[in-house]
Amino acid sequence: LHGSIEMAKSGVTTMVDMYLYEESAADAVKEIGLRGIMTQNIIKYPTADGEDAQAKIDLAVEFIENYKDDELITPGFGPHAPHTVNTEDLEK
């Protein structure tokens, strides 16, 4: 939320984010009234929001479903990097 406030004060109207907890980040962006292109992080390593890439793909699908018709948030998949997501997971 703090970052969204700083962006709005600086004149930013649209931002892009790819990481963990995108639902919370999207809610903060919307609360301030910014537009956001928000993508759920896909990575093969365990993180706070999932044990493997499939768990994160599942989160991304849910996130996209929840925000697909939102006026301020454009949801999507956010593959982390070539060395942290294998080809098999990218093909899913």
Domain that holds residue 58: 2-91
Q: Contact 29/65 with Cβ under 8 angstroms?
A: no
Query: In this predicted structure, what is the pLDDT of residue 3?
Result: 86
pTM recorded for the entire structure: 0.87
80-86 CB contacts, 8 Å cutoff, 24+ apart: 80/18, 80/41, 80/42, 80/43, 81/43, 84/43, 84/44, 84/45, 85/42, 85/43, 85/44, 85/53, 86/44, 86/53
The pLDDT tens digits of the residues spanning 63-75 come to 999 999 999 999 9
pLDDT for position 39 = 97
pLDDT (0 to 100) of residue 49: 87
Give me the pLDDT at residue 52, please.
Answer: 93
Number of domains in the chain: 1
Nearest to 59 by CA among 6, 23, 13: 23
pLDDT in tens, 4-49: 899 999 999 999 999 889 999 999 999 999 999 999 999 999 999 8
